[in-house]
């Protein structure tokens, strides 16, 4: 079987203060923000800082009832999920389902920056929330 995961697309970190987190990465590591977006359906504001061919994705909630707000309340700041790049999100999602795995998104859906994404439940993936990311751009 050829590998379905082709790259680490991003490592997502949940933070309380997005501007402070961006400033820290800029000032300490000289990182630059390549993209910012508010994803209203997920209730998050995100900033993507490029690291080689991958990104650090800083996430903060835009409303109190968003999943990231609940995550911060329960677990505090820190690693939220890992985004793996895939050639075809539907194929990778089907592989998870075919193995009996639990998914959060039953079908691929729009992600930020024009991507197509689906989340895999951490109970299936050994405690880590996984996002499958297809980037058609
Ligand atoms: Co993500």
**CATH code: domain of residue 66:** 3.10.180.10
Q: What is the Cα–Cα distance from 111 to 117, expressed in whole angstroms?
A: 5
Ligand 1: centre distance to CA 130 (Å): 8
Q: How many CA atoms lie within 13 A of 100 on its CB side?
A: 0
Give the whole-angstrom CA distance, residue 26 versus residue 84.
24
- Considering Cα of 115, then 133, then 10, then 85, what sign does the dihedral take? negative
Distance 57 CA to ligand 1 centre (A): 7
Q: How far is the centre of ligand 1, averaged over its atoms, from the C-alpha of 101 (Å)?
A: 19
- Return d(Cα 71, Cα 27) in angstroms, integer: 27
Domain assignment of residue 123, given as a range: 5-134
Close Cβ partners of 116 (under 8 Å, ≥ 6 residues apart): 89, 108, 109, 110, 133, 134, 136
Å from CA of 109 to ligand 1 middle? 12
Q: For residue range 30-50, what is the model confidence (pLDDT) as tens digits? A: 999 999 999 988 899 999 999
Please tell me the total count of domains within the chain.
Answer: 1
pLDDT tens digits for 85-125?
999 999 999 999 999 999 999 999 999 999 999 999 999 99
- pLDDT number for residue 123: 96
Q: 136 in helix, strand or coil?
A: coil
């Amino acid at each position: 079987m050829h590998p379905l995961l082709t790259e680490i697309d991003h490592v997502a970190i949940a933070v309380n203060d997005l501007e402070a987190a961006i400033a820290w990465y800029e000032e300490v590591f000289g990182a630059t923000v390549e993209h910012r977006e508010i994803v209203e359906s997920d209730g998050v504001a995100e900033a993507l800082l490029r690291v080689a061919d991958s990104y650090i994705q800083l996430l903060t909630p835009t409303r109190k009832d968003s999943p990231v707000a609940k995550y911060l309340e329960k677990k505090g700041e820190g690693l939220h999920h890992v985004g793996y790049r895939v050639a075809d999100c539907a194929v990778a999602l089907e592989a998870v389902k075919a193995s009996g795995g639990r998914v959060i998104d039953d079908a691929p859906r729009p992600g930020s920056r024009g991507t197509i994404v689906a989340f895999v439940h951490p109970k299936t993936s050994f405690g880590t929330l996984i996002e499958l990311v297809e980037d058609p751009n």
